[in-house]
Structure 1
Amino acid sequence: MAIAIDACAAQHQGDRKEQQDRVVILPHARRRGVALAVVADGMGGHTGGALAAEQVIHTAKTNLDHFAGPDECPKRMLENSMREAHTMIKASRFMNEKDPHSTAVMLLLQPGRVTWGHCGDSRLYHFRGKQLVQRTVDHSYVEHLVATGKITPQQALTHPNRNVLLASLGGQDEPKVSLDEVTELCAGDAFVLCSDGLWGYFDDLELGTLVADNTARQACEILIDKARQRANGGGDNLSLAIIKLIEALPPTKPAPPAGFVRRSVA
């Protein structure tokens, strides 16, 4: 079965004074079927977070341009992109006197393989149909509390320290980068990358259902609208990228000219 891609990236400033998120889906310049999706959630005061997120996108694009496809390890490429962005963001502190940081989640799509990595609390979800297959685990204080059994996932949603990160790009400490991939893909698989300004308003089932029941573009529009309604005037920047694998339709044969009769030959 041939598989086609339905993809869309979108964002909204929310109720903040500045958009510090960045999101992009980049096709490889020379390799068919290879693309990179990135969501970066910048932090660090006026313009500082935006500059950090821009650095994540710039570094990821540079590494994609040099990616050699099957001859190069995709996990290494993603990890190098994040660590290089971390170094550049950290160095920028001395130039702009700001305290820039950024989360990052990246997905590399290749024929028959999807590889991803993240640092911070921007997430990747992998759905098959409406069902969640896997999602990244946030590098955050509340996820640590959940993992150690001190609070439940439901309590994490309203915990007063839910925005405290244990890892980010640009901080004093070396970033924690988590990597994974899937090589058994099929039509009906979908991948959602998003910042916490979006995922904080949806449980896994609702998110998976909205993505499965709509095109990538429609799902982006619906998710942003619902997040804005639920934010009730207090919403953060929000960004998302959706990559859906769908069954490719067979090419249609051109219709014969008017008056032409196709004859079979015995």
Structure 2
Amino acid sequence: MSKAFRLTASTGIHKGDRSYQQDQVLVLPHPRHNGCLLCIVADGMGGRSGGRKASDQVLMTARQLFERYSPDSDDAAALLKLIVQESHIVIRLTALSSEQEPHSTIAAFLINPQGDCHWLHAGDSRIYHFHNGKLVYRTTDHSYVQSLVDRGEITEAQANTHPHANILVGCLGAENDPPITPHLISQLRPGDVLMACSDGLWHYFSPAELASVLHALTPREATEFLIAKARARARGTGDNLSLVVVKVDALEQASQRFAGFDQDAPPATTAPAPAP
């Protein structure tokens, strides 16, 4: 890269109208490589403790593997795939050793110091890529209703209100290996915003609404606003919700690598109560 870039990130998490929290969210700067960042949203399923054990395992595995990762010599896409595979195995072992049926989605992206960004997902937690207030790309859910959309049987709008919208065709902890859909952004640019989130958040917003909010607000302001608005729109029926927002800004000082990382909020920001 010919210019230096700054990464600003924020996380948000709320239990919604559920009595317990099964989502987990992570923003993890690399301990040895400045400008290297791993972000994950894991939506646990399987009851109060089962779902939380699954999402906890995703984050624990990610921390352990990212600690050993070197952006100068290792393959980022392979690392993300390994996080999914190893998490899936441990979650399956947990299911065999208990009466619980823990499962989890994952939406993860890794930014390297040179500015390339790798991501993958399994389940219906999503990753969005925006640039200057416009949607560039987003993940496609591994869900029953998405298969109906793909076949042209229903529209995206109808999928949001479909009675079987919560049925997944693949995730971590299921009997079959999880689907793994990778994606590469070869070079991040100033004006880019990345957001990973669970279905408890994206369900209440159109891509245009998300683009507008993320363009106008800082990552911390955006996480707080989106959680509060999702809570208000849920009208007492909201699921757990979580999100990670990372914004790319340019700096004046020339450099060949990302200048650094600023966390715009604590690792788990709980939004204020919804507006009446």
TM-score after normalising by structure 1: 0.92
Displacement after TM superposition at 1:35 (Å): 1.1
Query: Secondary structure in 1 aligned to 2:72?
Result: helix
- Counting aligned pairs with the same residue, the percent is 43
Give the CA RMSD over aligned residues: 1.1
Match of 2:197 in 1: 194
1:46 equivalent in alignment to 2:48: yes
Matched-pair contact (CA < 8 Å) for 2:107–2:122: yes
Matches within 5 A, 1:196-211: 196-211=199-214
Match of 1:238 in 2: 241
- Deviating 4+ runs (over 4 angstroms): none
Deviations 1:50-97 (A, max 9, x none): 000000000111110111213111111001100100000000013332
Work out which of the residue numbers 135, 142, 145 in structure 2 matches 1:139.
142
Query: Secondary structure in 2 aligned to 1:90?
Result: helix
Match of 1:24 in 2: 26
Work out which of the residue numbers 222, 227, 245 in structure 1 matches 2:225.
222
Matched-pair contact (CA < 8 Å) for 2:21–2:48: no
Cα distance in 1 between the residues matched to 2:141 and 2:251: 34
Cα distance in 2 between the residues matched to 1:73 and 1:250: 29
AA paired with 1:160?
P
Match of 1:260 in 2: none
Query: Secondary structure in 1 aligned to 2:233?
Result: helix
Cα distance in 2 between the residues matched to 1:225 and 1:248: 31
Query: Secondary structure in 1 aligned to 2:47?
Result: coil
1:163 equivalent in alignment to 2:170: no
Matches within 5 A, 1:2-13: 2-13=4-15
Does 1 or 2 have the higher relative contact order (CA < 8 Å, sep 6+)? 2
Cα distance in 2 between the residues matched to 1:12 and 1:45: 17
Work out which of the residue numbers 58, 61, 74 in structure 1 matches 2:60.
58
Work out which of the residue numbers 129, 132, 135 in structure 2 matches 1:129.
132
Query: Secondary structure in 1 aligned to 2:77?
Result: helix
Q: Number of residue pairs matched? A: 251
Cα distance in 2 between the residues matched to 1:61 and 1:220: 23
TM-score after normalising by structure 2: 0.89
Matched-pair contact (CA < 8 Å) for 2:22–2:51: yes
Match of 1:85 in 2: 87
Cα distance in 2 between the residues matched to 1:175 and 1:186: 31
AA paired with 1:214?
L
Query: Secondary structure in 1 aligned to 2:64?
Result: helix
Deviations 1:175-231 (A, max 9, x none): 111101111221100000000000000000000110010100000000001000000
Match of 2:110 in 1: 108
Q: Please, which runs of 5 or more residues in structure 2 have no aligned partner? A: 255-276
